[in-house]
Amino acid sequence: MRKWIGIAIIILVLIILVVLALTTAQWLEPSLAFLGTNADTIQTLADLTQLVLWVGAGAALVAGFVLGWRRRPKAGTPNAAATPTYDAKVEGGGAVAQDRSAAAGKQAGFGR
């Protein structure tokens, strides 16, 4: 279903672009005349939009730090995603070596 929606959106955009290309004679000259006479107004709106975006980004950053969106894990609580665990089974010995255990070190050749 989602695949068909994506394909439909692409086809719709292509149709719009083809129609715009075929009707360029009707809309291009009036658009250029409008842009030429209102260049200062358009530049002012572009500058205002840029200013609003920068202020909004700064406000989101400050709010993120103030409201604690970047929470740090509590001390002593390991991050499960950052510390992978490994299990190695020893055949015939009946022992299971887990990471950071004495058996794991001996299996890897680090034991004494």
Where are the chain's structural domains?
2-66, 79-112
Q: Which helix (H) or strand (E) holds 109?
A: none
Q: How far apart are CA 81 and CA 83, in angstroms?
A: 6
pLDDT confidence of residue 77: 61
Q: What is the pTM assigned to this prediction?
A: 0.42
Helix (H, G, I), strand (E, B) or coil at 88: strand
Chain centre to alpha carbon of residue 33? 40
Tell me whether residue 103 is exposed, middle or buried, using C-beta atoms within 10 angstroms of its C-beta: 0 to 12, 13 to 18, 19 or more: middle
Instruction: Walk along the chain (112 residues) and give the pLDDT tens digit of each residue.
Output: 778 899 999 999 999 999 999 999 999 999 999 988 999 999 999 999 999 999 999 999 998 888 876 566 566 665 555 566 666 665 665 555 555 555 545 555 555 4
Other Cβ atoms less than 10 A from the Cβ of 106: the count is 14
Give me the pLDDT at residue 49, please. 96
